[in-house]
Structure 1
Amino acid sequence: MTAIDLSGVFPAMCTPFDEDERIDFETLQADAQRLEAAGVDGLVPVGSTGESATLTHDEHVQVVEAVIEAVDDVPVIAGSGSNNTREALELSERAADAGADGLLLISPYYNKPEQRGLIDHYRTIADAVDLPQIVYNVPSRTGRNIEPDTVVELASHETIAGYKAASGDLGQIGEIVERTTDEEFAVLSGDDPLTLPTVSVGGTGTISVVANIEPERTCAMVGAALDGDYARAREIHHELGPLVRELFVETNPIPVKEAMQIRGYGPARMRSPLSRLAEEYRADLEAVLADLERDATELADAEGDR
């Protein structure tokens, strides 16, 4: 297995669709190149933000292949989880065959396995697929928390390289960091509001929604925190705060896709049953994006005058 550096910023990419709800591969690849040029540390296609739940297995693989083809020098970590272990294994094997550098595996949703079932699920995939794998805990979507004891046990597996923390429980995140310090194991934030707190307790970075819109700022915040410059990291955290809040007024990725369209990065079209952002939220989102653009322009002008 070739290890990858799981520190820094990894945007959870959107999947753009055309007017017929087919994948817009040209826009997808342009977006991957934009994010790479902005300095991100890796890309995560076909996760929750990439609307994986409404993609076919073939589309999953096609998206992964397209992103890999588009970028030059950043790892591509493919979402390949499922609530069916056999299905997750098949998706993981196909992502590996497509050339993915790593895998992001959401815990089984809806059927709510016990912790022993979660261990068996992840070990089955880790034993079979020789790629670094990230365990993804998002109880609000899955209905089941991955308990710290379970994460610690999984961390001992040589192929399980990290944990995406989207529980909203900073105490639990800190405990997992504390108890896996002897392992080569990365803990990444999966909640944009908690990226800075997660790094502060020993996390290594973020798999981020907001980084789709503000990759440079997100990279600057995480980089400053990892370097111990918490004054600068807090400053950027608060700059991004209004946008982060707007990106979660409705179910992700509804708001971020709207923001992508406003910025000209891709269409806001969703696959049913997700819908476009409610009109009542659009003006606030536009205003926050305009404020960030104005701040960036003013900063660039000030630096140019020096």
Structure 2
Amino acid sequence: MRLQGLLSFPLTPFTSDDKVDLAVFAEHVERQIAAAPSALFVACGTGEFTALSADEYRDVVATAVRVSDGRLPIFAGCGGGPQQAREFAQIAAECGANGLLLLPPYLVSSTPAGLVEHVRYVAAASPLPITVYQRANAVLDPAAAVALLDIPAVVGIKDGRGDVDGMLRLVTAVRQSGHPRAAEFGFLNGLPTAELSVQAYEAIGVDSYSSAVLCFAPDIATTFYKAVRTGQKDVVARLLSEFYLPLVALRDRVPGYAVALVKAGARLDGLEVGHVRPPLVDVSPEHLAELKAIIARGRAALAEVTR
């Protein structure tokens, strides 16, 4: 299952009394499917996996599977310690998910070879295909990336580090390994606001990326994606300067805004996704006003480039 194209990472909505709002989540999933991504990754980073109980996780994954009804693949996040990751991987399989995104192990740091064994340990507990998320304390080297090919369940690597040189080494090692699964193995650009790095990653053979913007401004996200794929450099440059670069500048002002800003944007787009759970903090009123202005600028630029 090699994923290519634009990938959606839906939010997990919460009610005012801090329950998962499955009705809003179902609407959110429908809106994401309408934007035509290649796959949905639910209960992952943007979906606040670490803030969910096992029961909440089960409800979120099952709802996504039900709403999608086979229209596109559903990947579910899993992670934490090895046994917790196994538990959530099993739940995802029971709910009918099509695959897993394995998040970094909780707290513990190790070697690249140790990370491979962690992946192998989780894979042994679930029949689902696994994409390994490289970021934070989960860092692969070329030898470890090639070793993942010997774990049949592992279908790809998602990069959240932003080390293009390092990622090039992983891609090259896998593609030139001679392993029978090398050609089908997938590489995903999973950086926050991946649109800023998509062109650099495309150049090294990473042909899919996650878009948080798809959650609140799918018109901008899909137009940008099509412009990148068709080589419309003027459209790409305009949307970068008028929307993506200002958005990233705002995002970088507060830790955790990579999630909180997306939720705020979804609320501005008319979807009552509610608050973020701690330790994340919600967007301040002044930053919300800035976000609203950035979205307006982005849509104004979008109107001009699509005339």
Identity %: 27
Counterpart contact for 1:204–1:226, Cα < 8 Å: no
Counterpart AA for 2:40 = L
| Ranges in structure 2 where 5+ consecutive residues have no aligned partner | 177-181
Counterpart contact for 1:196–1:233, Cα < 8 Å: no
- Residue 111 of structure 1 corresponds to which residue in structure 2? 108
Per-residue Cα deviation, 1:129-185 (whole angstroms, up to 9, x for no partner): 22221000121xxx4533333222113422111111011111111111212225121
Counterpart AA for 1:212 = C
Counterpart AA for 1:167 = R
- Say yes or no: does 1:158 pair with 2:152: yes
Choose the corresponding residue for 2:202, options 199, 204, 207: 199
- Residue 32 of structure 1 corresponds to which residue in structure 2? 29
Matching of residues 128-143 of structure 1 within 5 Å: 128-139=125-136, 143=137
Per-residue Cα deviation, 1:28-71 (whole angstroms, up to 9, x for no partner): 11011111111111111111111111110111111011111112
- Say yes or no: does 1:61 pair with 2:65: no
Secondary structure of the corresponding residue to residue 73 of structure 2: coil
Give TM-score scaled by structure 2 length.
0.87
Give TM-score scaled by structure 1 length.
0.87
Choose the corresponding residue for 1:175, options 151, 169, 173: 169
d(CA) in 1 for partners of 2:28, 2:205: 30
1:196 to partner: Cα distance:
2.7
Secondary structure of the corresponding residue to residue 108 of structure 1: coil
Counterpart AA for 2:48 = E
- Residue 295 of structure 2 corresponds to which residue in structure 1? 289
- Say yes or no: does 1:256 pair with 2:254: no
Per-residue Cα deviation, 1:241-268 (whole angstroms, up to 9, x for no partner): 3334434433121111111111212334
| Number of residue pairs matched by the alignment | 293
- Say yes or no: does 1:241 pair with 2:249: no
Distance 1:36 1:162, change over 3 A: same
Distance 1:201 1:234, change over 3 A: farther
Distance 1:211 1:196, change over 3 A: farther
Secondary structure of the corresponding residue to residue 10 of structure 1: strand
d(CA) in 2 for partners of 1:222, 1:110: 35
Counterpart contact for 2:15–2:274, Cα < 8 Å: no
Choose the corresponding residue for 2:73, options 69, 72, 75: 75
d(CA) in 2 for partners of 1:157, 1:150: 11
RMSD: 2.2
